[in-house]
């Protein structure tokens, strides 16, 4: 009779015998960039050549679904049904990546060839997300084999190929395919751990709204000597408009965009979370952001307004002219309870009240925040499972500081959502030299095998605990 230990050993063996490396090497070679504006055939090829064969071998029925949004990458829905009365797990990953940025990698490294340097495995998608869903799939295969080809629950995989292009069509496909995606729990892998040395469990994500402030004063610039003093300078005016959103220390000055008070359970979860400190992390700026909060609270339990880019005149080649226009591309990162859908009106009213009526506000991108209740029984269940696989409990984040399309799972599909990341903060995600840490991959395979094993233990996982209704989710 096989045991949980056998499942974990099989997961480690998949890593140790080089098979995991070989699988990931093939997957990294697919140029599945989705943020270049053109849909490449590599997106569908990745699903058909790399994910469907191993999923079919594990007993999944696979279906590729075209994106209802023109130019968007396809989706894969893979279902493995063991019994109509069994509970169902939904898992999610994305096979697309951000641009390779080929010329900018360090000597001897490149985005499309998995390359080992010490503990680091370099390549585009190693961390985000090919490495992570490969770990998830490897852990699944190990648990399934150890249990003699049974899981004890049904499992559905949803893979998208457009996450790096802001997930076009994801919401629509989840609405269309609601029946096929019906489940009781989501477990997925993406994003970084808080610290490389300890696992992380996060329960949702902050949301983000990108918005631009633009002041179009005149169709062209005018000589600053001939006209300075009688023409309003759009760069000066726009700078003051931007400054009215956040003070010199980054504290948000727009009351309606500040979050509600931090719940006590969230505070407690974040109490022992340390931010930064790894060799390649930047030093934190003391005194930046909302006063009175710890770095973890400012990052995970609060909102920030960031200026992403500023433009007026030519910054590289200034000339003696009053620019005709100025623009600031800004972003609100926010937690649940923020009226983000009203951002355009809120900023509009804020600017109008301060005399900036001529500054235009345009929202360019928006995604919701989610946060599973920290006291949901799945959280403690996952903590025990993870500790049983790697010897330590996970850092628990009520939500990730970054953003994920978790709203479709927590909101639309009404699922409790558990995220188990296998990357780490200095992984260079979205940048040249992206990499996966080999020891984290090996440990991640065992963590995932343990979670799959424990989900199938009769009566042990809180599938029918009665506390899993969508109402138990705090989601906006
Ligand atoms: Zn990404």
Which pLDDT value is given to residue 60? Answer: 98
> What does pLDDT average to over the chain?
94
Considering the four listed CATH numbers 1.10.3720.10, 3.30.1490.100, 3.40.50.1370, 3.30.70.360, the one that applies to the domain covering 207-273+289-367 is 3.30.70.360
Lowest mean pLDDT among 203-207, 244-248, 400-404: 400-404
Tens-place pLDDT, residues 338-372:
999 999 999 999 999 999 999 999 999 999 999 99
Residues 327 and 347: their CA atoms lie apart, in Å, by 15
Domain boundaries, the chain: 4-205+369-475, 207-273+289-367
Q: How far is the CA of 430 from the centre of ligand 1 (A)?
A: 6
Q: Tokens for 135?
A: 């770990």
Structure confidence at residue 466 (pLDDT)? 41
Binned at pLDDT 50, 70 and 90, residue 102 comes out as: very high
Q: Is the confidence at residue 51, as pLDDT, over 80?
A: yes
Instruction: Flag whether pLDDT at 168 surpasses 80.
Output: yes
Whether the predicted pLDDT of 324 surpasses 80? yes
- Cα(20) to ligand 1 centroid in Å equals 21
What is the distance in A from the centroid of ligand 1 to the CA of 51? Answer: 19
Residue 472: is its pLDDT beyond 60? Answer: no
C-alpha 128 – ligand 1 centre gap (Å): 5
Does the pLDDT value for residue 9 go beyond 70? yes
Decide: helix, strand or coil at residue 253: coil
Which one has a higher pLDDT value, 426 or 200?
Answer: 200
The pLDDT tens digits of the residues spanning 433-448 come to 999 999 999 999 999 9
Between 279 and 153, residue with greater pLDDT? 153
Q: How far is the CA of 371 from the centre of ligand 1 (A)?
A: 20
Question: Which residue reads 């852990």 in tokens?
Answer: 139
211 Cα–ligand 1 center, Å: 20
Strands 435-437 and 200-202 come out as unpaired
| Selected residue with higher pLDDT from 469 and 62 | 62
**Which has the minimum average pLDDT: 192-196, 278-282, 398-402?**
278-282
Q: Give pLDDT, residue 279.
A: 78
Which element (helix H / strand E) includes 212? Answer: strand 207-216
Ligand 1 center to residue 459 CA distance, Å? 36
The reported pLDDT for the residue numbered 37 is: 80
For residue 464, the model assigns a pLDDT of: 64
DSSP E strand stretches across 97-153: 115-117, 120-122
From the CA of 36, how far away is ligand 1's center (Å)? Answer: 14
Question: 4-205+369-475, superfamily in CATH?
Answer: Zn peptidases (3.40.630.10)
The predicted pLDDT at position 465 comes to 45
Q: How far is the CA of 408 from the centre of ligand 1 (A)?
A: 17
**Can you tell me which residue has the tokens 């003699």?**
148
**300 alpha carbon – ligand 1 mean position (Å):** 18
The values of phi and psi at residue 22, to 5°, are -65, -45
Percent of the chain at pLDDT exceeding 70: 97
168 Cα: distance to centroid of ligand 1 (angstroms): 14
Task: Kindly report, residue by residue over 289-315, the tens digit of the pLDDT.
Answer: 999 999 999 999 999 999 999 999 999
Give residue 469's pLDDT band: very low, low, confident or very high (50, 70, 90): very low
Centre of ligand 1 from the C-alpha of residue 125, in Å: 8
Whether the per-residue pLDDT at 468 is higher than 90: the answer is no
Percent of the chain past pLDDT 90, that is, above it, reads 91
Q: What is the pLDDT of residue 474?
A: 38
| pLDDT higher than threshold 50 for residue 475 | no
For 357-378, b/e burial (b = at least 16 CB within 10 A) is ebbebeeeebbbbbbbbbebbb
Distance 132 CA to ligand 1 centre (A): 11
- Tell me what the mean pLDDT of segment 417-429 comes to: 95
Per-residue pLDDT, averaged over 249-255, amounts to: 98
Distance 97 CA to ligand 1 centre (A): 7
**pLDDT surpasses 60 at 76:** yes
User: How many CB atoms are located within 10 Å of the residue 415 CB?
Assistant: 27
CA of 205 from ligand 1 middle (Å) equals: 14
Instruction: State pTM to two decimals.
Output: 0.89
In which region does residue 149 sit, left (phi positive, over 0), alpha (psi from -120 to 50) or beta (all else)?
left
How far away, in angstroms, is 431 Cα from ligand 1 center?
Answer: 10
Of the candidates 410, 407, 247, 413, the residue with the CA atom closest to the CA atom of residue 340: 407
């Amino acid at each position: 009779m096989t045991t949980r230990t056998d499942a974990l050993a099989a997961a480690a063996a998949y890593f140790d015998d080089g098979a995991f490396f070989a699988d990931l090497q093939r997957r990294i070679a697919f140029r599945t960039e989705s943020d270049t504006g053109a849909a490449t055939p590599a997106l569908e090829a990745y699903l058909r050549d790399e994910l469907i064969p191993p999923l079919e071998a594990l007993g999944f029925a696979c279906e590729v679904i075209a994106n209802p949004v023109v130019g968007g990458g396809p989706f894969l829905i893979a279902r493995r049904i063991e019994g109509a009365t069994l509970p169902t797990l939904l898992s999610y990953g994305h096979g697309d990546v951000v641009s390779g940025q080929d010329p900018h990698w360090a000597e001897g490294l490149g985005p499309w060839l998995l390359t080992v340097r010490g503990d680091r495995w370099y390549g585009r998608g190693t961390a985000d997300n090919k490495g992570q869903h490969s770990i998830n799939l490897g852990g699944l295969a190990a648990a399934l084999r150890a249990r003699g080809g049974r899981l004890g629950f049904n499992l559905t995989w949803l893979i998208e190929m457009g996450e790096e292009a802001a997930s076009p069509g994801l919401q629509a496909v989840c609405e269309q395919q609601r029946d096929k995606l019906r489940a009781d729990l989501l477990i997925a892998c993406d994003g970084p751990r808080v610290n490389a040395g300890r696992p992380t469990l996060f329960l949702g994500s902050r949301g983000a709204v990108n918005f631009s402030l633009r002041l179009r004063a005149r169709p062209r610039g005018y000589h600053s000597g001939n006209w300075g003093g009688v023409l309003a300078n759009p760069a000066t005016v726009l700078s003051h408009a931007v400054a009215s959103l956040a003070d010199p220390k980054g504290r948000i000055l727009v009351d309606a965009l500040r979050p509600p008070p931090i719940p006590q359970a969230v505070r407690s979860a974040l109490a022992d979370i340390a931010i930064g400190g790894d060799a390649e992390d930047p030093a934190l700026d003391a005194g930046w952001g909302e006063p009175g909060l710890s770095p973890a609270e400012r990052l995970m339990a609060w909102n920030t307004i960031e200026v992403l880019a500023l433009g007026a005149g030519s910054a590289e080649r200034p000339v003696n002219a009053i620019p005709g226009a100025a623009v600031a591309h800004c972003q609100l990162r926010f937690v649940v309870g923020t009226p983000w859908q009203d951002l355009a009106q809120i900023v509009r009213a804020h600017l109008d009240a301060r005399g900036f009526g001529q500054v235009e506000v345009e929202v360019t991108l928006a995604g919701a925040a989610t946060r599973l209740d920290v006291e949901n029984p799945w959280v403690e269940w996952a903590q025990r499972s993870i500790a049983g696989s790697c010897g330590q409990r996970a850092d628990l984040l009520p939500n990730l500081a970054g953003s994920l399309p978790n709203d479709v799972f927590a909101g639309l599909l009404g699922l409790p959502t558990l995220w188990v990341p296998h990357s780490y903060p200095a992984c260079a995600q979205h940048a040249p030299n992206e990499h996966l840490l080999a020891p984290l991959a090996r440990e991640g395979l065992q963590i995932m095998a343990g979670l799959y094993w424990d989900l199938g233990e009769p009566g042990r996982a809180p599938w029918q605990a009665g506390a899993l209704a969508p109402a138990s989710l705090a989601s906006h």
